[in-house]
Structure 1
Amino acid sequence: MILMSPPCQPFTRLGLQRDIADPRTKSFLYILNLLPRLSQLPRFILLENVKGFESSSARQCLVEKLLKCGYTFQEVMVSPTSVGIPNSRLRYFFMAKISTEAICSKDSQMSLLPAESESSQEPTLAIPLQPLSSLTKEEEMEGRVHYKLETTNDALRKRTQNSDLSVRQIQDFLEPEENVDIDQYLVPSKILLRYALILDIVKPICRRSICFTKGYGRYVEGTGSVLQSCLETETESVFKYLDQFSQEEKLQHLLRLKLRYFTPREVANIMGFPQSFSFPEQIPNKQRYRVLGNSLNVAVAATLLHQLISKC
């Protein structure tokens, strides 16, 4: 089996989208060129990347190489909500397999006819995966939600997500209160005053949160949700007339919510890491957030791997 998660910068919608012209794709292209020359082809291949990879030249190179080697494949977009985790992290997955007959006939591989792609077939996996062609514009923008600058559709989508009983609540992934130094994780006053309107605020009973990125805790927009610790205060009442207050009054209203960042352990829980996982004590939170933001959701990858293998 080969598991691949090539650098996403050449394909991300927020980047330059240089695709195979970006030097960071060289290692990926090298592996593709090496694949047909292997003495034994891997039975399975699972690749993950950001949305945007599905329309790239790199993806086309991948498909051409694998078809020549006798693989069949399926492409899907998956978010952790598909496996009941309250987090939006839409990612592209490419799943390929090759029959044992094709592996055994490696010596005569060049005479094999290109295998038919499974991407046009109806998905048969246990989790509700979405074929690439079925994604709506709203789903493509999954996770990019502003709290009080949101549109009516954004607000409706949040309510819909929070009413989806197939997704667990945020509180199932939180550390016990006695284990968390709340003061250490409270959102700083200067962040509250400057960015309060674009913070994505969730409560423990919510069934949604936006994607946690490597910039969580350092940047605000689109890097992850913050948790409302004081549930006695109504969020709407704090924001209702916020623009009419002085800076000092605004801050006092916002502080009533006790907004805090998720701890690295809580982010790891949402990302599907087992309780046995831990960081060395000397690793600062900044670095913990960075590596977690760059990682895969373990529960999603594990489910896809299980289904890929069990189909054979």
Structure 2
Amino acid sequence: MEALRVLELYSGIGGMHHALRESCIPAQVVAAIDVNTVANEVYKYNFPHTQLLAKTIEGITLEEFDSLSFNMILMSPPCQPFTRIGLQGDMSDPRTNSFLYILDVLPRLQKLPKYILLENVKGFEVSSTRDLLIRTIENCGFQYQEFLLSPTSLGIPNSRLRYFLIAKLQSEPLPFQTPGQVLVEFPRMESEHPQKYRIDTENKAKVKKIEPNTCFESSTHCSGKDAILFKLETAEEIDRKYQQDSDLSVQMLENFLEDDIDMNQYFLPPKSLLRYALLLDIVKPTCRRSTCFTKGLRISTNLLPICHKKKR
């Protein structure tokens, strides 16, 4: 197989590049593009031999794009215009401009890429920007499939639901392609019930139905959990977490923790702990779940008790 020539847009610290390496697919990232100076420094450290363009995407001309001779695009456009807790400015948000520029340039390339992989937040799938993306790639002759996936689908103990689109330049549909549908699990070709993995994007107000939890009435392993409501959580929410920690297809957090490090630098100051204690998702190294690990989302940060150190 001839090595792919990959263009990495919104490259950040190189997450897409690293995933590409992990896939073992023969590929070369011919250029990475990002304007964040700090992220670019990390990217250069991680991938010192990759051409890194520290400029805006809108500042790259059609001719410059053509000169890169890429046949695959990896990209994670800014997510702020589509987040569920944000203003959801969509196409009116200036941070969408660079992506709109990409959609304008794509049909005018001398040679279209063979593959496209795009990642964004949940919410993008019901945006006008997504609709424009779909119209653009359809007009260019791409076959595509959309997904809403979380790392837990890969056995990684982190819940971070994200939108993904894969597109391939070909006339025949993808083997697992379901037009107008977003897959919520990886496709299983042998499945006799394909509807199980779909959600309807036409009804944008539809949400997944959650059946009433009857665990506390019928299961002995849940005995006592409904007697205590911890951190203002419902008994159903507590049971959901217990079920996640019992899912053996997902690894434990301890498999991702470093050994022999000074934990003092990670302690929460008493002021923050008192303020956010009822909102923190507290987990142990033996848990098989976690939420965001970002500095800005303190209410989602996970606190790992140091009394449960990793043992080998």
2:152 is aligned with 1:81: yes
Higher strand share: 2
Please state how far the C-alpha of 1:120 moved relative to its aligned partner: 4.1
What SS does the corresponding residue of 1:17 show, helix, strand or coil? coil
Query: Alignment partner of 2:80: what SS?
Result: coil
Structure 2 partner of 1:136? 208
Cα RMSD of the aligned pairs, angstroms, is 3.1
Contact map agreement 2:142 2:171 (CA 8 A) in 1: no
Q: Is the partner of 1:175 in helix, strand or coil?
A: coil
Structure 1 counterpart of 2:36: none
- Please identify, of 51-60 and 183-192, the stretch whose mean Cα deviation from structure 2 is larger: 183-192
Residue 192, structure 1, aligned to residue 265, structure 2: no
Separation in 2, partners of 1:84, 1:39: 40
- 1:152 CA drift (Å): 1.6
Shift in Å, 1:124: 6.5
Compared CA separation, residues 203 and 31, structure 1 to 2 (3 A)? same
Q: For the structure 1 residues 27 and 156, does the alpha-carbon distance in structure 2 shift closer, same or farther, using more than 3 Å as the test?
A: same
**Counterpart Cα distance in 1 of 2:275 and 2:178:** 50
* Higher-RCO chain (CA-CA 8 Å, sequence separation at least 6): 1
Take 2:182 and 2:277, find their aligned partners in 1: how far apart are those partners?
Answer: 45
- Inter-partner Cα distance in structure 2 for 1:8 and 1:121: 18
TM-score (norm 1): 0.60
1:191-218 Cα shifts (integer Å, max 9, x gaps): 2222222111101110000122242xxx
- Alignment match of 1:16 (pick from 84, 87, 93): 87
8 Å CA contact 2:158, 2:290 repeated in 1:
yes
Q: Are residue 228 (structure 1) and residue 311 (structure 2) matched? A: no
Q: Does 1:30 align with 2:111?
A: no
Q: Structure 2: which amino acid aligns with 1:207?
A: R
How big is each residue's C-alpha offset from its partner over 1:78-99, in whole Å with a ceiling of 9 and x where there is no partner? 1000000000010000111112
Deviations 1:154-181 (A, max 9, x none): 10110010000000001111111x2x11
Contact 2:144 2:166 in 1 (8 A): yes
Describe how 1:238-253 pairs up with structure 2 within 5 A: none
Cα distance change of structure 1 residues 135 and 97 upon mapping to structure 2, 3 Å threshold: farther
Q: Cα–Cα, structure 1 residues 151 and 49, in superposed 2: closer, same or farther, change >3 Å?
A: same
Q: Note if contact 1:77-1:93 (Cα within 8 Å) is conserved in structure 2.
A: yes
| Post-superposition CA distance 1:224-280 (Å, at most 9, x none) | 21101224xxxxxxxxxxxxxxxxxxxxxxxxxx9xxxxxxxxxxxxxxxxxxxxxx
> Which structure shows the higher helix fraction?
1
- Give the whole-Å Cα distance in 2 for the aligned partners of 1:213 and 1:199: 13
Change (3 A) 1:130 1:93: farther
The match for 1:163 among 243, 246, 250 is 246
The percentage of counterpart residues that share the same residue type is 55
Distance 1:121 1:88, change over 3 A: closer
Aligned equivalents of 1:162, 1:88: Cα separation in 2: 12
CA distance in 2, matches of 1:211, 1:147: 20
Consecutive unaligned residues of structure 2, counting only runs of 5 or more, are: 1-71, 201-205, 211-228
Q: What do residues 104-161 of structure 1 show as CA deviations (whole Å, max 9, x unaligned)?
A: xxxxxxxxxxxx96454987746999544396266xxxxxxx9612112210110010
Equivalent of 1:52 in 123, 126, 141: 123
5+ residue gaps, structure 1: 102-115, 139-145, 232-257, 259-312
- SS, match of residue 118 in structure 2: strand
* Equivalent-residue separation in structure 2 for 1:44 and 1:75 (angstroms): 14
Contact 1:119 1:131 in 2 (8 A): no
Q: 2:110 aligns with which of 12, 15, 39?
A: 39
